[in-house]
Structure 1
Amino acid sequence: MNAFYNKQGIGDVLLVQLQTETPEKIQTEISGDITLIKDGKEAIAGFNLFNASQYISFPETGTIDVSEQLVTELQNALEKNSVEFLLEVDLSPKFVVGYVETMEKHPNADKLNVCQVAVGTEKLQIVCGAPNVAAGQKVVVAKAGAVMPSGMLIKDAELRGVASSGMICSAKELALPDAPQEKGILVLEDDNEIGSPFEVKA
């Protein structure tokens, strides 16, 4: 789930996106302060919550951090507006410390590598084109569902025929201060715990 709020730009409306892909065909359904956005299969792709400040406590403008409190407030708003829909949200951190266990050349692309990256209890296969990526590094991984500071949404993908789940990030992509201009991923110090959250400011 992704949420966006900008009172000056679009008024007192919270935009909530539930699907990673924008549906080709959409239809809307209004129930009180809620406008549901449905895809061609009648599944709810997202919704707009009008008079949002009456329902949600907003500490920020722009992309809103999805927290347990926000999910609870949104669920209450749906119920108050007679929308029977249960929000099922993955609240696990989307930016985490990863460890590149192995790296192999991509079979169909000279400048890409296929990395197996441990991120705590799970392992992700990530296709990476950075020139400095190597096995044995601790890195920052943006998992599927992460929203980069640029606004780009990270999704599971297939790059030149190889599945890739997430992205190994550079300091520039993470909008870190004094990020180097040359291409290359951010390599972390060894004392970072694998799978621990990495704070990224949207």
Structure 2
Amino acid sequence: MNIFYNQTGVGDVLMIQLTTNRPAEVETEKVNDVALIKDAETKEVVALNVFNASEFLKVEVDGQVELTEEVVKQVQDALDKNGVSLELEVDLSPKFVIGYVEQKEKHPNADKLSICTVDVGSEKLQIVCGAPNVDAGQKVVVAKVGAVMPSGMIIKDAELRGVPSSGMICSAKELNLPNAPEEKGILVLPADSETGNAFTF
């Protein structure tokens, strides 16, 4: 789940994305101050807009709202108050984590891509990476599926040249870190960085 609020640009509306999937067609159902955006085919609710948001919860940022238990509770309360029978299921685990590249293989269909097996503590991910400096044995920053990059891009499960990829190994520039180098390449962390820990920036 990702939550955005931009009072300056959009008004007093909380925009909530429940899934990274983008349906071909959507339909909207309005229940009091809540708009339910559904996949037209499956009827699954993929997003919500909460109008007059400041009446239901306190938001102090313009942009992405940090997901906390308190924020999720306030959003759930807003849905309940508006008569929306939807139970939010939210993964509050960190989306930017320290990963360990266990294995790197050449992509069979692309010269500049590598297939990496990355241990992120709770699981092992297969990530297709195009950085020239990625290698086995490195500690790296992984943006997991559902992460929102500083650019606003949402990380999704993807398939790159026929190979599934779950997540992204990040460069300093993609993470919008100060003094990030201009040349292409992932950010390699110190070897004593703890695999699975949240990466904060």
Structure 2 counterparts to residues 105-144 of structure 1, below 5 A? 105-144=106-145
What amino acid maps onto 2:143 in structure 1? Answer: A
Aligned to 2:194: 193
What amino acid maps onto 2:5 in structure 1? Answer: Y
Distance in 2, Cα, partners of 1:157 & 1:69? 31
Structure 2 counterparts to residues 29-178 of structure 1, below 5 A? 29-40=29-40, 41-178=42-179
Distance in 2, Cα, partners of 1:119 & 1:59? 31
What amino acid maps onto 1:59 in structure 2? Answer: E
Shift of 1:21: 2.4
TM-score w.r.t. the length of structure 1 is 0.96
Residue 11, structure 1, aligned to residue 11, structure 2 = yes
What amino acid maps onto 1:25 in structure 2? Answer: E
Q: SS at the partner of 1:71?
A: helix
What amino acid maps onto 1:36 in structure 2? Answer: L
| Mapped contact 2:8–2:62 kept (Cα < 8 A) | no
Distance in 1, Cα, partners of 2:188 & 2:159? 24
Shift of 1:162: 1.0
Distance in 2, Cα, partners of 1:71 & 1:87? 8
Distance in 2, Cα, partners of 1:102 & 1:160? 19
Shift of 1:91: 0.8
Distance in 1, Cα, partners of 2:136 & 2:30? 51
TM-score w.r.t. the length of structure 2 is 0.97
Shift of 1:22: 2.5
Distance in 2, Cα, partners of 1:29 & 1:123? 39
Unaligned runs of 5+ residues in structure 1 are none
CA RMSD of aligned residues (A): 0.9
